[in-house]
Each structure stands twice: as C-alpha cells, then as structure tokens.
Amino acid sequence: MEETAPRKGTVTQRAIERVTAMVREGLLEPGQRLPTERDLAARLGISRSSMREAIRALTVLGVLEARHGSGVYVTRLEAGDLLETFGVVACLSRGPRLVELLEVRRVLESAATALAAARITPERLAEVARHLAAMDATDDPEEILAHDLAFHREIAAAAGNEAMAAILEGLSSRTFRARVRRGHQEEGALDRTRREHAAIHRALAARDPEAARAAAAAHVGAVEEWLRTRPGA
C-alpha cells in the first residue's frame, strides 16, 4: 500500500492563516507579544513544528518580529515593512518579468505623481526642485542615480499614500534602477531623462494633476519601451 506523505505545507499555511486572522480581527494588536509557541499551537490545534514554521514565515514577511530574549511580537504593520520583500523581486527580475514590473511602476507612478500635484507642500516641492538641480549639475552616474531616486521618493511621499509609496520604493530600488540606468545611458538618453524630470517638476509646480500624470507616464514608459527591445536585460 502506497504511503501518503503528510501535507506539512498545508498545515503550516493553515497556521499562517490563523495567526493573520487573529491580527486582522484585533485579537493580536500591533506591538503585542505573541503567546508562547507551545500555547499558540495548542490554542490553534496545530503541531509546534508547524507553528514554528508559520512564525518564521510571518517574520520574513514583516508581520512578526523576534526580539532576542523577549519573544515574538506583531510588528507595527506598516506598508514599508510588509512590502519590503517586493523590492527583492524587482531586483532579481529579468526579461519579460522586468517589463511587467515596469508596467506596474508606470501605472502607480503616474497615479502617485497626479496625487502629488494636488497635495504637495511648498517644502516638499522645494526638495523635488533641489534634487532636479543636483541631477542637472553633474554627469557622475552615482550622483545622478542618488538624486533620481530621491526625486521620485519625494514625489511618492507627497502623494500621501503609504502603501503606494512602499510599492514604488520596491520597484525603484537602487539595484533595479541602476541596471536600467546603465543600459539606458548607453544610448545617450541622459538629456532626455533630464527633460522628462523637468516636465514632471513643472507639472507639480503648476499643481496640474493630469499634466503630472502624463509626464510621469512618459518618463517610465520610455524605460519600459527600451527594455522591451532587450529581452535579456
């Protein structure tokens, strides 16, 4: 008679779902310490080994955090922490998957820039302008990249949506953008990129959401189209 292997992954997944349900329903609050592994396993009717694996998985995902000598706690459940692994996916993606991520970034960045045009404060607009000027003042790729990232980060923050900003941060991670930037510059696209950034800034300064949306879409779309012609990028 053929033996059937225990479906450990299914049990662990059920443990993950039960713990996340406890968080969702308010039985476990952000910052609260979890019951001991033994107590939690007994409460949920799950083996300790499956409970341990579930806790490890939720720690990797940013839902839980282990504090040495203190126990396991629910994190603050902030978007940036929960979406941190998203940036790893962006950094490792190549070919068609990379193009798909650029499509996502184009949609989200267009929306974020439009929101920013309506919500940006004078102080944040001044920071956007400062990074734009710094990009124009140098030809050093590392300096340009640093200010480019900061330029878009300020705009995403100005949109006032933490979840959107966290996703964009992952999509705009340094490794991801550096790879795109290196290849894009090979075709002398730096001047065009500067013009695209300037168009975004003008739209923000004019408080024109639709112009901001269009400028951001054109900027990300140019990189997206470039990548489509290089399947191995």
pLDDT, tens only, 111-133:
999 999 999 999 999 999 999 99
- pLDDT of 158 over the 90 cut: yes
pTM: 0.71
pLDDT at residue 60 in the model: 81
Q: Which residue has the higher pLDDT, 82 or 139?
A: 139
Residue written as token pair 């500067």: 194
Over the stretch 159-176, which tens digit does the pLDDT of each residue have? 999 889 988 988 887 666
Over the stretch 186-224, which tens digit does the pLDDT of each residue have? 666 788 889 999 999 999 999 999 999 999 999 999 888
Q: How would you label 53-89 residue by residue, b for 16+ Cβ within 10 Å and e otherwise?
A: bbbebbeebbbbeeeeeeebbbbeeebeebbeebbee
pLDDT at residue 204 in the model: 98
CATH fold, domain 8-77, is Arc Repressor Mutant, subunit A (1.10.10)
Rounded CA separation 189/181 (Å):
9
- pLDDT of 55 over the 50 cut: yes
Lowest mean per-residue pLDDT among 39-43, 82-86, 200-204:
82-86
Q: 8-77 and 82-228 share one CATH topology?
A: no
- 3-state secondary structure at position 70: coil
- By CB atoms closer than 10 A (0-12, 13-18, 19+), residue 222 is middle
Q: Cα–Cα–Cα angle for 185, 183, 200, nearest 5°?
A: 55
Give the domain ranges of the chain: 8-77, 82-228
pLDDT at residue 233 in the model: 61
Q: Dihedral, CA atoms, 181, 186, 191, 192, nearest 10 degrees?
A: -70
Phi/psi of residue 214, each to 5°?
A: -65, -40
pLDDT at residue 2 in the model: 41
Sequential DSSP letters for 85-129 = HHHHHHHH--HHHHHHHHHHHHHHHHHHHHHHHHH--HHHHHHHH
Rounded CA separation 214/199 (Å):
9
Rounded CA separation 152/181 (Å):
14
pLDDT at residue 129 in the model: 98
pLDDT at residue 109 in the model: 95
Rounded CA separation 183/68 (Å):
44
Tokens linked to 50: 């499956």
Q: Name the CATH superfamily, with its identifier, for domain 82-228.
A: GntR ligand-binding domain-like (1.20.120.530)
Q: Which residue has the higher pLDDT, 5 or 77?
A: 77
- pLDDT of 153 over the 80 cut: yes
Distances (CA, A) of 150 to 25, 52, 78, 154, 169: 37, 39, 21, 6, 10
